[in-house]
Structures are given as C-alpha cells and as structure tokens.
Amino acid sequence: MNKYVVVFMVLLSTFTVNAEPVNRIFMAGDSTMSVKHVKDYPETGWGVPFSTFFNETIAVDNYAKNGRSTRTFISEGRWEKLTTQMKAGDFVVIQFGHNDQSKHKVDRFTPPTMFTENLTTFINDVRNKGSKPILMTPITRRHFTDNGRIKETHPIYADLVRGVAKHTKVTFIDMEKITKSYFEKLGDKDSALRFMHIAPNLHPNYPKGVRDNTHLNALGAREVAQLVLNELTLIDHELVYRLRQPDPKHLQLKY
C-alpha cells in the first residue's frame, strides 16, 4: 500500500476518534430525568440510560435536577445556562410537572398560568436559537387503585402540557399516558420492581428501607428511556438516525 495512503488513513482514524459531537441533546426537567449523586443510588433518572443510545455525533447534557419546577429552573439560572450552551441544530428535551403542581411545597409550586407561560417560553427560546424542542408530559407516579388501574397523578398539569404542545405545534411525547399504560400492564407487584422499593437492611443508602412510587431505580429508568426511544421511532424523529451501531457480536443474540 502506498505510504501516503497509510498516513492518510492514520490521520483519518485519529480525526474520527477525537472528533467533537456535531450536536447536543440538552435535558431540562426534574428528578425523574436527572443524574443522581451516589448517595441516592439506586435512584436513577431516565435521562441517564437515554444518554447512552446515541453515536459519537451526539452528546447529551443533562441539566435536570431533583425538586425543580419550571419556576425554580428559571429562577436558579439553570435555563439561562442551558440556552447559552445550545446552538442551531441541537435538541432540547423538556419535561416538567411533578414539582410545579406541588401546592404544599411553596418553594417549587408554579401556578397553572405561569406553568403554561414557562413551557411556552422554553419552546420559543429553543426555536429562536435554531434548536429543536421535544416536549413531554411527566411520567406517571405509581399509585394503583383496587381495580388494577393507576390513579391520575397530574390531572391539571399534564393537560396543560398537552395544551402547550397543541398550541405551539412542538414535537410532543405523552409520557404520562405511555408510562401509565406500561406500568398497569406490569401490574402492582412487577411495576414496584421498577421504582424505589427497598426493604430495610438491604442497601447502605436506605438502612430503614424506602417505598417511593415517584422515583425510578436503574431498571425502571432504562425501561422508561426505551419507551422514549420507541416513541421517537414511531414518529420517525431525526434522532433515531443518530443511534449507535450495535457491536457485531450482539447481532448474533436474540430474545
């Protein structure tokens, strides 16, 4: 082989390995999406496994934070920091509602009118930068009724998100309905395995145990991330063309 061809191939390989991502996915949301501190494991936000789905042309910046509403996400400067980083062609996943609706927690509560205005502002800010918003309703909480159905846990705020999606014609995924259906099919017992249910004396982070029907564990986070990816596939979103290629040995496996 010509020595100049060899040199070119080495340089091309080096460039490919060290190439910067072409675009970024920014994630704006609350604890159901966020990266966790080790002291909180195995609590896991679905944004964590979601970030592993994409090839080297995409990087994921997860700005989601426990306890944040649209109001506090703005007041703490998180939204401003996110928007200063994004550029044309990037993507922004927006998912709020859990904390906005918490009237008893005045540090985070967002009145319905303000919630709608904040979501609309987020979408407009993203579009004005030439980036692409993806709006989602919050994932369901796990509260079963006696008839095996999950209670509606965001009766006002999920509908407000749907209204904003319709008004702004933004790319929209109704994760409340999707996760509600998914966990109902699993049933009370099996769905609990996806949430923070740990008996006492099993995990050093929770010596007295925990029974939490809002926050996902690693299994639940992975499955919710897969549900998001499935919905992006169903609507033929451009991100599904930026997924990582499977290891060839994995193509020999089947379910």
Cβ contact 134:92 at 8 Å: yes
> Which residues make beta-bridge pairs with 172?
135
User: Residue 178 pLDDT more than 80?
Assistant: yes
Q: Is residue 254 part of a domain?
A: no
Q: Is residue 95 part of a domain?
A: yes
Tell me the per-residue pLDDT of 140-176, one tens digit each, with 9 for 90 and over: 999 999 899 999 889 899 999 999 999 999 999 999 9
Tell me the per-residue pLDDT of 209-250, one tens digit each, with 9 for 90 and over: 999 999 999 999 999 999 999 999 999 999 999 999 999 999
Q: Is residue 9 part of a domain?
A: no
Q: Is residue 249 part of a domain?
A: no
What is the model's pTM?
Answer: 0.91
How many domains would you assign to the chain?
A: 1
Tell me the per-residue pLDDT of 83-109, one tens digit each, with 9 for 90 and over: 999 999 999 999 999 999 988 888 889
* Upstream peptide bond of 42 is cis (omega within 30 degrees of 0): yes
Query: Which secondary structure element, helix H or strand E, spans residue 4, and what is its range?
Result: helix 3-18
Give, rounded to a whole angstrom, the gap between the first and last alpha carbons of the chain: 43
Query: Which secondary structure element, helix H or strand E, spans residue 47, and what is its range?
Result: helix 47-50
Confidence of residue 21 (pLDDT cuts 50, 70, 90): confident
* Upstream peptide bond of 112 is cis (omega within 30 degrees of 0): no
Quickly list H helices, 157-197.
157-168, 175-192
pLDDT score for 6: 34
Domain that holds residue 60: 20-244
